[in-house]
Amino acid sequence: MEHLIFLRADGSLQFIYADALRSLLEHGAPVISRASHVEPTADARWIVDLAPLGGAVLGPYEYREQALAAEAAWIESCL
């Protein structure tokens, strides 16, 4: 999986958290916040609620992996 890491003008890093990037948390005081909610629906499908970022609800998706990919794509388009 590809990981996008952004270096901000103030020297901070911004990225979608992945365990493979955990070592980056050692370089300063990390601030981790939830960007969205990937949740199951009543009919066993998946939606992405991007309200914490001021976004819409995406989906439904048949598979959770599809919802996670859509979530990441939307967030990366905003970074």
Q: What is the pTM of this model?
A: 0.74
Q: What is the pLDDT of residue 40?
A: 97
Q: What is the pLDDT of residue 16?
A: 84
Report DSSP state, residue 75.
H
For 22, counting Cβ atoms within 10 Å of its Cβ (0-12 exposed, 13-18 middle, 19+ buried), the class is: exposed
Q: Rounded CA gap, 58 and 47, in Å?
A: 6
Low-confidence stretches of the chain (pLDDT < 70) are: 1
Q: Rounded CA gap, 64 and 68, in Å?
A: 6
Q: What is the pLDDT of residue 1?
A: 60
